[in-house]
Amino acid sequence: MNNPNIVILGAGYGGIMTAVKLQKSLGANDANITLVNKHSYHYQTTWLHENAAGTLHHDKTRIAIKDVVDTSKINFVQDTVTNILPEEKKVKLENSELSYDYLVIGLGFEAATFGIPGLKEHAYTINSINSSRLIRQHIEYNFAKYNNEANPKEERLNLVVGGAGFTGIEFAGELANRVPELCKEYDIPREKVRIVVVEAAPTALPGFDPELVEYAMNSLEAKGVEFKIGAMIKEVTGDKLVFEKDEQREEIATNTVVWAAGVRGNSLVEESGFEANRGRIEVDPDLRSKQYSDVFIVGDCALIFNDETGRPYPPTAQIAIQQAEQTAANLKKLVQGEKELEPFNPDLKGTVASLGHDDAIGVVFDDKKLFGWSASAMKKVIDNRYLLKLGGVGLLLKKGKLNFFK
């Protein structure tokens, strides 16, 4: 095959890293590589909760694609994918159409609302720069509006987080840091503001180490965060959230519900005919679709089972980045005429969850537990390492979290 066409859909962790690795391993005359993305930038999904709370400006989180992609080797197309036609080896975009010999699908995730009435219409989600910016502006508007009403509305100052998984806990931690600043700015007593985390499971951070969960909850409760554990959300309206706990229905007056309790792969993959489970495509060991050997899947759209537990690996940034590196290596093999591809073997180095700017919990390096500042510093090391891998020292200095005490 002469100069095969490689098309990469999405510039999330999996897509952008696949592109960067390919531009380093293949020459300009080895393949025609095209990266398609809706926006002109890549963003760090794991920082979006900070943007949403207003503790980190969104410009810090987004990275211009042209700053990390060599356009002399990779053709960048800013457009929206509307359909994938695997039988025809084509991708339809809003403004054009692409043909491919090899396709990499890295289209990211969507919120899973589980059919809860009113959730889709009235709740906010942390899934992009724009959605995070909207949450920040909405919260600030409610604080500004509160003292400008003859009869201030209670629901303006009740901030509810749906879900106590990683995203929910990290967002609650950022809110706990941000709220005192907002109270001071808008002349509102701190005791009037509630931050409530509602979780259906019997514990926060389900599946995480109990000692770390206890530390996280104690830390956040000390900052004023309330937890409703074992509470099933039943309905969300424009001015309240209804949940059921111990067979009792309760309500929280609020017009700010941020849903962080479930994600699924991009629905476009199902609409394009791939066999998928909630938008995630089960792949072969080499990350190719079981239906189409010319299609690789990375990131949130890939469904990979852990042989030891029999459960799917979580769709984390860490795994997406490793999938991208393996996919780029296998694409290089295919371009060079090799048929034997390497299987993907995740190398899980640990997990760290932030609890605000100077606090965190984590498990790293063969189950070593970290608490407090040391865990927070480790999270910054992980974030900085990714920037270094993606764009080198220049990107690290421009976008990195280099102050370990803030």
Provide the annotated active-site residues.
170
Nearest to 297 by CA among 262, 334, 323: 323
Contact 365, 375 (CB under 8 A): no
CB-side exposure of 193: number of CA atoms within 13 Å? 26
Parallel/antiparallel/unpaired status of strands 102-105 and 295-297:
parallel
The conformational region for residue 392 under phi > 0 = left, psi -120 to 50 = alpha, else beta, is: left
N-terminal to C-terminal alpha carbon distance within the chain? 52
- In the numeric block, which tokens belong to residue 296? 């690789």
| DSSP letter, residue 289 | B
Which residue type is seen at 366? D
Helix (H, G, I), strand (E, B) or coil at 23: helix
Q: Are strands 109-111 and 263-265 parallel, antiparallel or unpaired?
A: antiparallel
Q: Are 358 and 380 in contact (CB under 8 A)?
A: no
107 contacts 295 by C-beta, under 8 angstroms:
no
The Cα 392–Cα 153 span in angstroms is: 49
Distant-in-sequence, close-in-space partners of 93: CB < 8 Å, separation ≥ 6 = 36, 77, 79, 80, 81, 82
- Please, which residues bridge with residue 35 across strands? 8, 76
Residue with tokens 């531009």: 23
